């Protein structure tokens, strides 16, 4: 499989794409005013402790207080939970009681962001700090040694653990990352030295500055993606910004100089994302409906509680019986769903409605195919088997808002529903307003301001509706069109007083 990283930088945003065999599989977008927060370390103030929620709210200087669950006060390595094997003799000393003993309202506390703010929810944080380098993760106030599960060789794991024991300072834990495979002690020591220097700077700032204050800003999106994703299986990194190219090249020269030839500055006039056919894939990530080559499609809908994905056969007409045709569509859908979850970075609860299959062996094939494709995903996933209703329930690790919320704004008209008030309903609302007005006011001349589409419907739809309303309620209404207002808005102005009186007679 050919893997490439493509980085496009503009004045308004930086976009980083991971491409596998010519197809977009992951996309990271960062805006200058909304930089990546995961990994940032703060000195905050405990604002509120809620035992019933088993959580505390910490003021770290953001608009919303950060959320600190009691489990994140005692858990080791929250940022890397689920991808390490830990070697430790320490027992868990967690529990609500012990946490309540540690946390006091008004006290200062050092925390790290593990999940970015989403909607009205503040960032999720932990007190268990971890600082990623190129090859190692330094964990202050711990005594653990961990090694990436992706290093499969038992001998290599043992060698790396032995090195870790030799170089690990007292009072720190170490996690060995996947890219450390095959590296000698000198390289790992160099990485550790840089991390220890960073930690000393954090400690000095924490002692001098008052909370809330940012103590340490993790690498920007582009640099962190290169740090975390640029491994030996990446064939090339293409960058269209000279500034970013130099920055990343300097970083790789220090950490892994042998990978330097794989970093290229993109010089062509054609936009880099067009050149790699990425832009069209991004455009499709806006779509609710995604078609397959064979004619089937999936529909992705986001709700407050979960994301639902519906599989349909669409235009697919197979030559075999229904069961086999449905199996083919479902297997193709499983691959595309796994890919779309990565591209759109959809997290939380996900429910997938596959086409119904009668045979248990076929249902298992679909489940196994989805699980196999999800193994390519760096985010942690948990998948249940197909239920008797043909549904698969799964969860996917959520660290930042999904791509939909990063590259788009809510529609000011439909407010996220995908629907707007019908013209007929708007007429009903206008008539109800006139009824209330007629009961409470003696005025008989009004100005009605509406969107041009509604104005056209009022004078030409089902006869002249506006004229009928004027005769019915015996009120003179002058119509005014305004394309700057929404189709589901209207305003009534008093002719006599020349003031907006809409709110006075709303329900």
Which helix (H) or strand (E) segment is 113 a member of?
A: strand 108-115
Q: Residue 24's pLDDT is what?
A: 92
Report the candidate in 207, 443, 227, 39 with the shortest Cα–Cα distance to residue 237: 227
Q: What is the CA radius of gyration of the chain?
A: 29
Q: Residue 93's pLDDT is what?
A: 43
Pairwise CA distance, residues 85 & 160, whole Å:
13
CA angle 402, 275, 245 (to 5 degrees): 75
Domain 3-33+223-279 top-level CATH class: alpha beta
> What are the residues facing 17 on neighbouring strands?
6, 27
User: pLDDT tens-digit profile of 11-66?
Assistant: 778 889 999 998 999 988 877 666 778 899 999 999 999 988 889 999 999 989 99
CATH number of 288-407: 3.40.630
**CA distances for 273 relative to 6, 158, 230, 424, 486, angstroms:** 8, 42, 19, 45, 35
Confidence check: pLDDT of 269 > 90 = no
Pairwise CA distance, residues 303 & 284, whole Å:
19
Range 423-505 classified under CATH 3.20.20.370: no
- Domains of the chain, by residue range, sit at 3-33+223-279, 41-218, 288-407, 423-505
Q: Which two tokens stand for residue 302?
A: 């986001």
Q: Residue 81's pLDDT is what?
A: 37
Interhelix angle 465-473/452-460, rounded to 10 degrees, is 70
Q: Let me know how many helices (H) and strands (E) the chain has, helices first.
A: 14, 25
Among 30-44, 77-91, 216-230, whose mean pLDDT is lowest?
Answer: 77-91
Strands (E), 168-288: 172-176, 213-216, 236-239, 263-265
Report the candidate in 166, 169, 163, 115 with the shortest Cα–Cα distance to residue 142: 169
| Contact criterion met (CB below 8 Å) for 227 and 237 | no
- pLDDT bucket at 94, cuts 50 / 70 / 90: very low
| Contact criterion met (CB below 8 Å) for 19 and 3 | yes
Report the candidate in 398, 296, 385 with the shortest Cα–Cα distance to residue 344: 398
| Contact criterion met (CB below 8 Å) for 107 and 49 | no
Percent with pLDDT over 90 in the chain: 51
Pairwise CA distance, residues 448 & 429, whole Å:
13
Residue 82 sits at φ, ψ, to 5 deg, of 95, -10
Percent with pLDDT over 70 in the chain: 90
Q: Which two tokens stand for residue 501?
A: 């009186």
Burial of 79 (0-12, 13-18, 19+ CB in 10 A): buried
- pLDDT bucket at 462, cuts 50 / 70 / 90: low
Average pLDDT rounded to a whole number, residues 326-334 = 93
Q: State the sign of the Cα–Cα–Cα–Cα dihedral 443, 444, 447, 450.
A: positive
Interhelix angle 360-374/322-344, rounded to 10 degrees, is 20
Residue 188 sits at φ, ψ, to 5 deg, of -65, -35
User: pLDDT tens-digit profile of 187-207?
Assistant: 999 999 999 999 999 999 999
**338 or 143, greater pLDDT:** 338
């Amino acid at each position: 499989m050919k893997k490439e990283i493509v980085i496009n930088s503009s004045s308004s945003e930086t976009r980083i794409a991971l491409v596998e065999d010519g197809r977009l599989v992951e996309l990271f977008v960062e805006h200058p005013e909304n930089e990546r927060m995961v990994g940032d370390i703060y000195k905050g103030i405990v604002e509120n402790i809620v035992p019933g929620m088993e959580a505390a709210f910490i003021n770290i200087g953001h608009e919303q207080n950060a959320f600190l669950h009691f489990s994140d006060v005692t858990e080791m390595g929250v940022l890397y939970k689920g991808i390490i094997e830990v070697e430790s003799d320490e027992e868990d000393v967690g529990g609500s009681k012990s946490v309540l003993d540690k946390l006091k309202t008004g006290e200062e506390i050092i925390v790290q962001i593990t999940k970015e703010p989403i909607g009205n929810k503040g960032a999720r944080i932990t007190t268990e700090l971890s600082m990623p380098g190129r090859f190692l993760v330094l964990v202050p106030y711990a005594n653990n040694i961990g090694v990436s599960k992706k290093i499969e060789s038992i001998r290599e794991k043992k060698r790396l653990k032995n090195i870790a024991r030799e170089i690990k300072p007292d009072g720190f834990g170490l996690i060995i990352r996947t890219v450390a495979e095959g590296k000698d002690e000198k390289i790992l020591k160099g990485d550790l030295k840089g991390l220890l220097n960073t930690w000393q700077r954090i400690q000095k700032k924490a002692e001098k500055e008052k909370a809330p204050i940012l103590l340490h800003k993790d690498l920007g999106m582009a640099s962190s993606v290169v740090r975390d994703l640029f491994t030996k299986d990446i064939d090339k990194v293409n960058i269209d910004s000279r500034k970013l190219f130099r920055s990343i090249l300097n970083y790789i020269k220090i950490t892994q100089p042998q990978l330097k030839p794989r970093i290229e500055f993109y010089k062509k006039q054609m936009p880099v994302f067009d050149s790699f056919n990425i832009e069209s894939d991004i455009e499709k990530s806006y779509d609710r409906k995604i078609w397959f080559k064979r004619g089937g499609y999936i529909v992705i809908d986001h709700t407050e509680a979960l994301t639902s994905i519906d599989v349909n056969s669409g235009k697919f007409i197979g030559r075999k019986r229904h069961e086999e045709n449905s199996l083919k569509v479902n297997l193709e859908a499983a691959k595309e769903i796994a890919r779309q979850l990565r591209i759109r970075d959809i997290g939380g609860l996900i429910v997938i409605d596959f086409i119904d299959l009668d045979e248990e062996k076929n249902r298992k094939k679909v489940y196994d195919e989805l699980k196999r494709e999800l193994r390519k995903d760096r985010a942690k996933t948990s998948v249940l088997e197909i239920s008797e209703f043909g549904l698969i329930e799964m969860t996917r690790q959520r660290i930042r808002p999904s791509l939909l919320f990063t590259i788009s704004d809510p529609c000011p008209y439909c407010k996220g529903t995908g629907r707007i008030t019908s013209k007929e309903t708007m007429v009903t609302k206008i008539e109800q307003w006139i009824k209330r007005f007629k009961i409470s006011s003696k005025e008989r001349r009004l100005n009605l301001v509406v969107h041009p589409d509604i104005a056209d419907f009022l004078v030409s739809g089902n006869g002249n509706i506006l004229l009928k309303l004027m005769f019915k309620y015996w009120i003179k209404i002058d119509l005014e069109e305004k394309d700057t207002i929404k189709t589901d808005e209207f305003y009534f102005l008093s002719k006599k007083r020349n003031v907006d009186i809409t709110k006075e007679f709303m329900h």
